[in-house]
Homo-oligomer: A and B are copies of this chain.
Amino acid sequence: MEAVLSIGTHVIPHPRKVETGGEDAFFVGGDGGGVFAIADGVSGWAEKNVNPALFSREVMANSSTFIKDEEASNDPQILLMKAHAATSSIGSATVIIAMLEKTGTLKIASVGDCGLKVIRKGQVMFSTYPQEHYFDCPYQISSEAIGQTYQDALVCTVNLMEGDMIVSGSDGFFDNIFDQEILAVISESPGIDEAAKALAELARKHSVDVRFDSPYSIEARSRGFDVPWWKKLLGAKLTGGKMDDITVIVAQVKTVAVPDDEGSGVEQEKGGEQVTVAATASAEQNE
């Protein structure tokens, strides 16, 4: 038996970036037991008249190319190194890459605040942590020497079982949704595509709700950010979602029978659901 991922995706751009498709990009492929990646272009580059989407999209396009490279195909940190080294755009991005070995081991490399959680038997049993320089300034790979590289990545693995669900996303997703909400949506969704869509839409709803006490607002208050003192006197506190591009990837671990003739080198996947599609996409193509 071999482990493979079924992968669903959904992207909703920042409300003010709908026309350009936002600055998140992602990549999904069927290599090994399945691979996916998300890159979130750092929006500050717009102030320098640089389109922040170019860098994140190029990193994802490069990832889809170098996944065919033998060394990079089973090491997300090497894939990140090669995808970054091959960029020519100006900009920077947070990136997470995850690849499943057919043995069931999920390998992860992450720079910045994209996230990945594993859900087993209705509970979160694994989660990455964001890396940041200070509040709202994540680690990022960059066209500039000052940025981070593959060497700064969080590199970890987690052994998965049949039925495990993976929920991965850009910070625009995790800043606007709580774990308990993710668990509820996953348990209520008939499939991975529906789950990805429902999760993105719930995060989007929270992101534009100024009264929602989001994970982002709670974190901001815990870092000492707040409304002015005179608003505090009136009982106000810093709340609200965080408007941002929202990318969600939902993947489920399935096991499939290995063909008897292992010499063929061809993986036989049974049933439409197990077939993962190779795709590089940003919201521009996706929405």
Contact = CB atoms under 8 A, between A and B. Distances in A.
A123 interface: yes
- By size class, the interface of chain A is 10 to 19
B125 A131 contact: yes
Contacts of A154: 125-126, 158
B155 A156 contact: no
A132 B121 CA distance: 10
A126 B123 contact: no
Interface in A101-150: 123-129, 131-132
Nearest to A131: B125
A121 to B, nearest CB: 8
Contacts of A129: 123-127
A20 interface: no
Contacts of A222: 180
Contacts of A125: 129, 131, 154
Interface in A26-62: none
A128 B128 CA distance: 9
A218 B128 CA distance: 22
A65 interface: no
Contacts of A88: none
A114 to B, nearest CB: 14
Given A125-B129, A126-B129, A159 B159 contact: no
Interface string A243-262: 00000000000000000000
A158 B125 CA distance: 15
A155 B159 CA distance: 6
Closest 9 CB pairs of A and B: A155-B159, A156-B158, A157-B157, A125-B129, A125-B154, A124-B129, A125-B131, A156-B157, A126-B129
Interface of A: 123-129, 131-132, 154-159, 180, 222
Given A123-B129, A123-B132, A156-B159, 8 more contacts: A123-B131, A125-B129, A125-B154, A126-B129, A126-B154, A126-B156, A156-B158, A157-B157
